């Protein structure tokens, strides 16, 4: 990708002997991952039950009992969580990905999320794993797996792919970037 605007974002973080070789961003818009095979049915069950609960407690007359208000209020947080995990998480993830930028230099990989930079020296990467999709995009994972990354993000990594560990998520031409990183690893 290497747009001059994206490259400029990383200039303040470079050392004097470091050069940017590639920059990119994750796929934009609503995105589904393999984990959604499990997450979507769970979220529909949760959201459906929370909706059912709230409809029932708000439509049944309470007969002047104070306990009915407790039950009405009790269900509202579950309904909010249900709306979030059914639909809101996709919008939230897409919003986060708009502010995520990736770079490969001759020394390290860098992930810029808003104003937070995460970088790892290429020669010290614990893992380098490529996964490609049929649409020409793919991801490169640098450490752990989705399960460990999910718990590292206090559980949100599984629900929000953009926060899921150290990875270049759904980038264009992932094999090219993967080969570029491997080439830099051999040059040390």
Report pLDDT for 158.
60
DSSP for 32-97 reads: --TTHHHHHHHHHHHHHHHHHHHHHHHHS--TT-THHHHHHHHHHHHHHHHHIIIIIHHHHHHHHH
- Give pLDDT, residue 157: 57
pLDDT score at 159 = 63
Tell me the three state secondary structure of residue 186.
helix
pTM of the predicted structure, to 2 decimals: 0.78
The conformation of residue 161, written as its DSSP 8-state character, comes to G
How does pLDDT run across 54-91, given as a tens digit for each residue?
999 888 876 666 677 788 889 999 999 999 999 999 99
Q: What is the pLDDT of residue 156?
A: 57
**Tell me: the pLDDT tens digits for 147-171?**
444 444 445 556 666 676 688 988 9
């Amino acid at each position: 990708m290497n747009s001059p605007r994206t490259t400029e974002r990383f200039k303040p973080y470079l050392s004097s002997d470091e050069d940017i070789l590639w920059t990119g961003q994750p796929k934009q818009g609503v995105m589904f991952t393999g984990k959604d095979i499990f997450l979507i049915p769970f979220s529909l069950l949760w959201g459906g039950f929370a909706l059912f609960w709230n409809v029932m407690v708000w439509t049944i007359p309470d007969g002047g009992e104070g306990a009915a208000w407790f039950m009405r209020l009790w269900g509202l947080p579950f309904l909010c969580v249900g709306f979030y995990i059914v639909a809101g998480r996709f919008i939230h993830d897409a919003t986060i990905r708009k502010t995520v930028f990736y770079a490969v230099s001759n020394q390290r990989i860098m992930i810029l999320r808003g104003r937070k930079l995460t970088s790892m020296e290429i020669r010290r990467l614990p893992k380098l794993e490529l996964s490609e999709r049929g649409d020409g995009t793919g991801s490169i994972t640098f450490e752990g797996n989705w399960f460990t990354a999910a718990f590292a993000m206090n559980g949100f990594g599984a629900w929000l792919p953009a926060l899921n560990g150290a990875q270049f998520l759904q980038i264009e031409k992932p094999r090219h970037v993967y080969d570029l990183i491997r080439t830099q690893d051999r040059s040390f």
